């Protein structure tokens, strides 16, 4: 019997490309989008579709030289990867919002990494005033 708190393979694939999962899976979604490795998973999910299209493009021109193949694919692939990395937090925030979760969870890992330094700073200089 499948676990109702984790998506089955079909739910996972559709979730990767935009579908929202039921509320019973919110803990899993929270960990997926804000837990360890979330940024890497998001970039990989965003790059897979373009890789599939570029492989099809390369198969359409089997006799092209490697240089021609590179000049056909790299101008598409590199900006795609760049924007997947740069807009990663925005993508994850949008996905969290779509699932009805707090969008600030995206910063959870960074806050955990800097918690010791923040505590040391606050002990030395006092707590920072909130605006």
* Residue 130: pLDDT band with limits 50, 70, 90: low
CA distance 121 to 57: 54
How many domains are contained in the chain? 1
Q: Specify the pLDDT at position 129.
A: 67
- The more confidently predicted of residues 6 and 125 is 6
In a domain, 105, yes or no: yes
- 121 assigned to some structural domain: yes
How many other CB atoms sit within 10 Å of the CB of residue 14?
13
102-113 tens-digit pLDDT = 988 888 877 777
pLDDT over 70, % of the chain: 95
Biggest CA-to-CA distance, the chain? 67
39, pLDDT greater than 60: yes
3, part of any domain: no
pLDDT in tens, 46-73: 999 999 999 999 999 999 999 999 999 9
- What does the pLDDT look like over 12-32, one tens digit per residue? 999 998 899 999 999 999 999
Q: Dihedral, CA atoms, 104, 110, 113, 114, nearest 10 degrees?
A: -90
Q: Is residue 2 part of a domain?
A: no
Contact between 74 and 65 under an 8 Å Cβ cutoff? The reply is no
Q: What is the DSSP letter of 104?
A: G
Task: For residue 130, tell me if it sits in a domain.
Answer: no
Q: Classify residue 1: in a domain, yes or no.
A: no
**pTM for this predicted structure:** 0.79
When pLDDT is averaged across residues 97-126 and rounded to a whole number, the result is 84
4: in domain: no
Instruction: Find the mean pLDDT for residues 90-117.
Output: 87
Q: Is residue 87 part of a domain?
A: yes
Alpha-carbon dihedral of residues 50, 51, 57, 62, nearest 10 degrees?
170
Domain that holds residue 51: 9-125
């Amino acid at each position: 019997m499948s676990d109702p708190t984790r998506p089955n393979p079909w739910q996972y694939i559709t979730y990767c490309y935009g579908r929202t999962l039921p509320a019973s899976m919110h803990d899993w979604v929270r960990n997926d989008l804000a837990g360890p490795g979330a940024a890497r998973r998001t970039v990989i999910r965003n790059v897979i579709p373009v890789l599939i299209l570029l492989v099809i493009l390369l198969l359409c021109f089997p006799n092209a030289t490697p240089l021609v193949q590179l000049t056909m694919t790299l101008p598409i692939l590199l900006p795609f990867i760049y924007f997947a990395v740069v807009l990663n937090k925005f993508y994850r925030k949008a996905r969290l919002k779509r699932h009805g979760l707090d969008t600030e969870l995206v910063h959870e890992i960074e806050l955990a990494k800097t918690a010791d330094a923040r505590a040391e700073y606050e002990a030395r200089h006092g707590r920072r005033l909130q605006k």
